[in-house]
Structure formats: C-alpha cells, structure tokens
C-alpha cells in the first residue's frame, strides 16, 4: 500500500476555501503491485519475461487527488505479468508498466511511513512497485 498526500495547496479566497474544503482530499491510499515474472523453460535455456512496474507520475492535467480516486474506484493498480518462454520464443515478453497520474506537489509514502519520493514538477516519476 502507498499513500499519496498533497502538501502544496492553492491560495484561494476565504469563501472559496470553505467550499473547496468540503470536497478536498489531502491523502489517498492506493494498492500497488508489480507484475509477476513469466515462467522460463530451463530445458531449452528459456527465460521468462520481467513483470511490469507501477509508477506514480506528476501531471499538470490532474488538479487534485479526487480525480485520481475517480479514475480507479477500487484504487488498485496492478501491472501486467511477464510472458512465458516457449520452444519458439526463448525469452518471454516484458509486462506493461502502469502509470498512475497524480497532481504535482504530492509526496509518496509507504505504509510504514517511509518516504518513497515527491512529485515536484510535470513529468516527475516515482517507482512504487517493481515487477518480478
């Protein structure tokens, strides 16, 4: 599990701030899991593909964490598994990565409270779960 928490807040007038505070989400807990690696074929020297990673990416298009929650109601982000090797294809395919778009100014924290990273500008990426 990973916590996303906004620590930069726009300056607003007092009346707008009270109205916005009703719908404001300043922290969000999401479940992230990297993709499992594919199975190899040892008799042929085959190697299974690597599973996909889960990244949190800073985006100016996403204004608050409420949009992140609406984008995926279950708040589960699971990357694709890697492909298996076969007689015809010795090396399995790599699983696709999952990117969670998040507003700029977000701190990414693990369940244990350890800081994973911060998204300070457009395009910043933080790896939250790596594939196998």
- For 1-33, what is each residue's pLDDT tens digit? 676 665 544 444 444 555 555 567 788 899 999
CA 31 to chain centre: 9
pLDDT, tens digit, 9 for 90 and up, residues 28-70 = 899 999 999 999 998 888 999 999 999 999 999 988 888 888 8
Length of the chain: 132
CA 18, 120, 123, 101 torsion-angle sign: negative
Q: What does DSSP say about strands 76-78 and 27-33: parallel, antiparallel, or unpaired?
A: parallel
Nearest 5°: phi and psi at 10? -70, 145
Cα gap 66→28, rounded to integer Å? 9
Whole-model pTM: value is: 0.80
């Amino acid at each position: 599990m990973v916590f996303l928490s906004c620590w930069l807040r726009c300056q607003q007038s007092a009346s707008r701030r009270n109205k916005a505070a009703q719908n404001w989400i300043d922290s969000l807990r999401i479940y992230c899991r990297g993709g499992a690696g594919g199975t190899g074929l040892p008799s042929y020297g085959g190697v299974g593909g690597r599973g996909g990673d889960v990244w949190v990416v800073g985006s100016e298009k996403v204004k608050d964490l409420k949009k992140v929650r609406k984008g995926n109601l279950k708040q589960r982000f699971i990357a694709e598994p890697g492909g298996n090797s076969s007689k015809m294809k010795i090396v399995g395919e790599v699983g696709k990565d999952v990117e969670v778009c998040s507003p700029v100014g977000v701190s990414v924290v693990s369940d244990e409270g350890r800081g994973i990273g911060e998204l300070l500008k457009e395009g910043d990426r933080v790896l939250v779960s790596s594939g196998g």
